[in-house]
Each structure stands twice: as C-alpha cells, then as structure tokens.
Chains A and B, each alone.
Chain A
Amino acid sequence: MKPGLDAILFDPPGPVPFERAWRWQRTLQQRLLADPRGPETLLILEHPGCYTLGRGASLDHLGFDPAAPPAPLFRIDRGGEVTHHLPGQLVAYPVLNLQRHGADLHLYLRQLEGVVLDVLGQLGLAGQRLEGLTGVWLEGRKLAAIGVGARRWISQHGLALNVNCDLDGFAAIVPCGLADHGVGRLCDWLPGLRPDQVQPLLRDAIAERFGLTLRPPKDSERLRG
C-alpha cells in the first residue's frame, strides 16, 4: 500500500453560504497554483438554498426571472448548466492538482461519478451512469450532479449528492439542462438516511479513489472569512 497524497479535509458543520465556500475554494486553488506540490484539499459541506449556473449555462433552463430568483443565484466558474443546492444535499469540492491524477478532465468527471457509485454501493444501492451524460442516476432519477472548473489543472467545484433534501426547489429549474430526467434523493430508497451518515462514506470514497490521506488543517492552513 503506497502512502497517500497529503490532503486537508475541511468539513465545517452546518450550511455554508455558497459564496463563502466558493471564496474558500479560490483561496485553496491559489495556494496550490502558487505551490503545485502543496497539499490538496477536500471540502465537504452543505449549502443554504441557492442556484448556480456554469459559465456557459443557458438561462433557458431557469423557471424564474434571473433578476428575481427564489433563492440566491450565482454564475460560477465551472462547466455545466444550472443546478440547485440546499440543506440535505452534500457537496464535495476537491481542490486537487489534477496533474497528479491523470491530467484529464473527462477522466476526472468519471472519477467523481465513481465516487458517488462507491458511496451508493456502500449503502447497498446500484447507481448508474448514463452514456453521454455526466452525473449519477438511480432508477432513472438523478441523485448526483457534477460540474468542475480548473486552472492550470488545479480543480475546483465538484459534486452534489442529494441525501434527504427537499426536491421542490428543483422544480423551478431544468437541472443540468436535462428535461427528461427527474431528480431523486437517497432517503427515497433509504428512509431516515441523513447527511451526517453519508458524509463519512463520501469522504472515504474520495480519499480512496484519489489516493488521499486526509488530515485536519494546520493553523497556518485555516480558511478565514
């Protein structure tokens, strides 16, 4: 067993406003750009209700006026169409130097799907990839959305896995621009399942797949703001 790559885990309790978590990711990305040999990072958290659009996303998939959204709306530096975040959904944002992980963005997307499939497997569920689409489905319903951005192969953004969140907010959008695919959540298959039970599975699946040895941040590595 080879020693894993040094990686910092940030798993703040309670929902973190999207803009804050985004600022953290950019800080971490900057650190890794400045020192590409430095530690990688994994953020696992939940967001208060919000919507995000990929940089090239179409506004046609919004069921509301972008000037007056039902929850904060952000256009962010990732690929993909609109998605929705809210409590009860775990998001994982690996800030990795992808040069250490194959330097291949499609491969990275497939690895993130693999992470979700691993978590589902741990829970006794057989998730699916759909050919030509990015994400993870279970019985035709999309459980996990994936979108990433990178600069000089340093990643940000990542995946969102619906655990026991309210699905109503998804009705206001066409998630990921896919009209024919419903959205699902894990608690529909495993009643009573909570994010705090899934979090360790997600954390370990990511560590395993990317060969990371996770540790808490040192004082000098803490995120402010």
Chain B
Amino acid sequence: MRALAAPGNKILATHDIFMPALSSTMTEGKIVEWLKKPGDPVARGESVLVVESDKADMDVEAFQEGFLAAVLMPAGETAPVGETIGLIVETEAEIAAAQASAPSAPVAAAAAPAIVSSPVPAAAPPAPAAAAAPAPQPVAVAPPAPPANGRLVATPRARKLAKQLGVALETLRGTGPHGRIQAEDVELASGQPVSVPRVAEGSAAYAPAAAGSAAGAPGGGNGASPAPSAAMGQAFGRPGDTVAFNTLQQAVNRNMLASLTVPCFHVGYTITTDRLDAFYKQVKGKGVTMTALLAKAVGVVLARHPQVNGAYTDAGMAYPATVNVAVAVAMDDGGLLTPVLKDANTIDLYSLSRTWADLVARSRTKQLKPDEYSTGTFTLSNLGMFGVDRFDAILPPGTGAILAVAASRPTVMAGNDGSIAVKRQMQVNLTADHRVIYGAHGAAFLKDLANLIETNPESLAL
C-alpha cells in the first residue's frame, strides 16, 4: 500500500501488486496471464494474474478488495521478484487517477524499477485500511478478557475442536491474545486433556530468525502501553514434559547456533523519547504503529549509514541495494519470524504501518512468502511493550546488525546546567558483526538515530 499524489494534490490510496517469490531460488518470474483487466473489480483472495517460474505456475491473488487500476507489466513479460507489476485501488473513482499517476508500463522488458514514492503531505493521509486482521500480540498471554467488540474470536483449530467436541464457543472465555479462544480453552471446557502444542507446519523453515525471544508489537507502543499484567507465562509443554521442537523452532535453533561463528559486539545508547511519544499520539489515530515508526526511523538512518546495512560474505562486505528492515515477531505456537518492511527508508509511514499489519496477520497464519521474511538487511527486535529496561539480541545470519529496543520509561535526568527534569528514555542496544561493522560505525549510527528520534521524529511522516 502506498499513497500517490494524484493530480490536484488529492491523495490516492493504491496497493501494489508485486512479482512474488515462488521460490528462494527465483530471481524473476514470467507473467503468463492477467486474469483481470484494468478496471475490473477484484475481491480479496481472488486470483488476479498467473506467474510462471520454471515448470511451475502460481495464481497471484489480491490481498485487498478493490479494482485493478493498472497493469504495469503485460503478459509474456518477465519481471524481477519484488517488482511492482500492477496497481489496485479501493474505489472505482480512483482508477483513472491511479492510471494517470502510475508509471507507464515499461515498453521493453526493461527492469526499470517502477518506484513511485511521492512525498505524502502529513495533513491528508489516506484513511487507514479497514481493520485487516486481529491485532497481533506480543508473546505473553494476555489476561483473559472477553473480545472487545462482542464478536466471537477463536482460532480455526479451536473452532474445529469445538465442533468435534460439542463445545459452545459462546460460553468460553478465551485465554489468547485479545481474549481469542484457543484450542486449549475448548479442550479445558470439554474436560479433554490439554494436548501438547501441535507441531507447527510452517513455511518458515528458512526464516532468518532473530533474537532469542523477541516480539514485535504492531499495535502496542514501545512503552507507550503498559506491559500485559499478571498472567501465566507462555510454555509449550506441561511440567514434566519434554516437547519436541517444531519446524520453526528448529529453524530458529539453527540460526541461533550459526550466530556463534560470528564475532559480535554490542553497543548501547539511551534515547529520550518524549518527542517521539508525542508524535506517536498524533499519528496513532491514522493507523501508524510504533513498530512502523521505529522501522521507518531505523530505515532512514540506515540509508545514511550503509556500513551498518552491510553484511559479511565470503566474497567481502556486501552492501544491499535496498534498506529492508526485518522485525522479529514471536509466534504463538513457538519460534519466531522476521517479516520484512522493504525499502523502509523510502516507503511512507502510513503505507509501512499497513504493510506491517498485513505481514503480521499473514505470518500468524503462515502465509508469508519467502521474500517477505528472508530479505531483511537489518533487524529490529522490540520488547518495549513488556517494560524491559534493556536486552541484547542475537544476530540473524546473513545480516550485519540487529537493534534491541527496550521500553521507554520516565527517568530523572540531570542537565549540564544542573537542572533536573523527568523525561522518558529508552535504551537501544545494537548487536553487530565486527567483521563488517566496527564500534565507531555502530556508535555513529546510534547517535544519528537518537538525534532523529529526539529532535525531529515528525520528519518520519514526510
């Protein structure tokens, strides 16, 4: 999702259709057929086009309801993975405007990146997309609470079990995030023994995993909201059990072990967040999340510190062409994923927020494509919502650095002039591969990040 400045300076909400990664070894794909024509309505989940790579076809579906506004790459052409190949708009009225402001379709199969990121006036951001998914939650189990809006929220497995066991879901209080009813709640209600967590069947086996136990908080502020209060901590087995690692946990284990071969060091910084917090309050209502704010801030600063965006390879220091900020998200059933906010430095804050909500929702249902969790160039791990004052993170393989973000808390500060003030501060801690990133690089990056957050967070919305 992004916003285009349309003629007349009206802001227009368009959603990009990207060339998907059908395989970790796929670099480009051929568009076999557009199943929709520009102007056609598309439903969420409806196939819009077919992409071929090798002897395999995949239907590409719309993630939003709306209208296909433009085909940027015609059938028969080949596009690199991640390239924008079409645009979807939300209303019929926006079709013409999107077509007018869309880049014209490349005539030849040239790989001219079709990037249109016009600055978005902060005054008129597009309306946040209708609540796409249940707000994903930090790893800790939230205190039991009935669903906020009276709607019944239950996991698919819980629904299935309830049907099998004849349990009325309406009668249950869910112990999951936001009071979501989990399979365990159904089992408990039916008197069934609570089964050990199932083995996850994830697409995540190749996910570069990040910090040992990190969580993203798309909805929650970094310290802006209090940590979930007294509740049972998460465990994957009961006392006395030994529970096999699921696929995702095994993948995380491998990645964590791989980090032992990397000479890492840590460098920390304390950042005053009063101004960031105030700005967050302003834009929260527009669908902006603290995760997107932090990712955007990190992205912008990384673009000025390419060394910190770099990574070790056998051939030398690799400098990625883009700044892709991965954010660690713990999975309810164990393991963690690192969905990627691509081009975090250039994509506008509102689009980043929406993209993030979509990524998290799909990561929970294991619907992420490999390039959506494996293309991070830098990782962010935020445990602020738990109130932790500091932690350090383990470096995901293939990247040079990860930033551990702790909670922002009121702190008594002494000024150079002897004055005393209470300000909100958070500690961030960078873990970096010393073969590529040296202490001075890390420190300069953190100084710039602190400067941006402390003095000019409003610029993140420009």
Contact = CB atoms under 8 A, between A and B. Distances in A.
B201 A100 contact: yes
A37 B23 CA distance: 22
A223 interface: no
Interface in A98-119: 98-100, 102-109
B54 interface: yes
Given A56-B30, A109-B55, A148-B56, A104 B201 contact: no
A105 B33 contact: no
Interface string A1-43: 0100100000000000000000000000000000001000000
B30 A152 contact: no
Contacts of A104: 22-25, 206, 370
Contacts of B30: 56
A79 B367 contact: no
Given A55-B50, A134-B55, A106 B33 contact: no
Interface in B18-33: 22-26, 30, 32-33
Contacts of B170: none
Interface in B178-194: none
Interface residues of A, number: 32
Contacts of A209: none
Contacts of A97: 201
Nearest to A5: B201
Given A99-B201, A102-B203, A104-B370, A150 B59 contact: yes
A78 B199 CA distance: 31
A79 B156 contact: no
B43 to A, nearest CB: 14
A216 to B, nearest CB: 21
A2 B55 CA distance: 31
Nearest to B30: A56
B34 to A, nearest CB: 12
Given A56-B33, A104-B23, 10 more contacts: A56-B30, A78-B57, A103-B369, A104-B22, A104-B370, A108-B56, A150-B56, A150-B59, A151-B59, A152-B59
Pairs of residues from A and B, 8 with the lowest C-beta to C-beta distance, nearest first: A103-B203, A106-B23, A105-B56, A56-B32, A80-B55, A105-B22, A151-B59, A79-B57
16 contacts: A2-B199, A5-B201, A55-B52, A56-B50, A77-B57, A99-B202, A99-B203, A102-B205, A104-B22, A104-B24, A105-B56, A106-B23, A106-B56, A109-B54, A150-B56, A151-B58
Interface of B: 22-26, 30, 32-33, 45, 47, 50, 52-59, 61, 76, 156-157, 160, 199, 201-203, 205-206, 366-367, 369-370
Interface of A: 2, 5, 37, 54-56, 77-80, 97-100, 102-109, 134, 146-153, 176
